[in-house]
Chains A and B, each alone.
Chain A
């Protein structure tokens, strides 16, 4: 499942704090690393992904570029509010390729995942793919 596109399971990005119409947030859930969402200036940046049902999440993999500090929050409700922090990580900088990071969670259920990009290695950062393992 980690290699499949999240969008095939009905997951969608319901909030993104930046939008360039050439690099929309849907690019994160299409399962491809060639397409990406790009932030358009200033931090923090926020993304919220909604799953159609409660989903067990034990691992999240993120393909990105120039992201420095990332915080992940989740909730298990219908509304996208009242999130709890489940992980915070500082990514290493890469030069000629994407950052690929796996973040292990406790396997409890979620309806929404919220990604807060707190800082970056550049003015602009990109997220190419988010994969989830149940």
Chain B
């Protein structure tokens, strides 16, 4: 049956058709919809949100050890978190097929870096498949499981934002019967202590050589001979861009760029006059072509930074221009926190206490933007608390006020160990946990604090305050961020406390049904408004400033924070 599916929906469909039994992921753009689709459409697959990507890959490998097919899904930087199990997993026995999906984000549409995760395949010595359409996303997912079981290896399926989020026509197939789970003991292949791992390492090396032979003969890597004047080696969406720009050229289309198909590349290179490698981000394939002693063009003209387009590829190979058009200068529409977002008032309260705020990954990172200007560092998931500790330790007591902010989902992901460290090493910093009862940035997924699983079952709901105290934090306050005066005062006390302090800022995301706002629009009394712009300092999209007065527009949801901070008492309404 023909359907239009996104790359992510097609991976989910591929997992279903491959007979996958178990799926785990931590949400992260652009990968999130894969597990959401599995949970919604293919209920025979047990699917779970993991608290982080390391957990996701480890529970999936447990399922694989029990003989079934399992998939772990994450965004590119998530693989960094899962890198510890990833590097040793290829040493162990593969019973049920296991596939790691890495969704990379060239152009950084919603990420903190632009790393190229194809390097992880070479690093971990596992095969990697790279689809260039939704159809291939489905087909390659099935192929990845077949390779995993026939060669006894984890397989990486690598997508990018343009593959994950683009839609295309897909022919779907029938599902394969899932494997039957069973428990077997193989301690020599499953217990990675030195004596066993030493014996397993040569197995891994022999396997990757065998896989190189497979890459040379597999139809995943195919030569399309046309005009031999230009020959292009390409994979992923870059293949489609090159095809668009040079439909008459010859192509070596790599669906499996690792291990690199040396013989097929030599064969192709011998048939064309000018050899190009077209790939996004790093010269991953180009370096391997050059290592074969073959001359080729690529990153000398094709940018490493940002995503490619058909125009950039055309300009690079034809040697004319950059392929980027001059843009008219127009007012921008930067992303901002939603009207009524509980993070806004909490960040405002922190900013008013003049502290240095170590940020983290989530909606609140947008508090970096003016006029809030409330975030001073952001590195990766869970880093903020540790930044605060490191900074405050070296500056010493009584100097600067140091704080960290972290969301609830990010705290469960990788903030807990940081807070444990802060308590254990006698740190002096204020940690504000912005608990909005969801994973908001990626579209409101459940997590261990919400009491509901991905499959909609009731479960235990983590008590944040109890956890924080158990980690060794004695000064803990739970507050309502919409009550700004109290929030500001509590932040002041926390910053003055001589030890690790935690404020739990508790109010549901304003996009949730359980939100704690009236939903009724406020208004400004124009006679009372002095035009002082204190409310404008919140950066709320619902507050406009025209004719020297504040105005509230229809985006207002009645959180009442602007009314509370207005020095002239000019904002009110039916709240």
Query: Do A and B assemble together?
Result: no
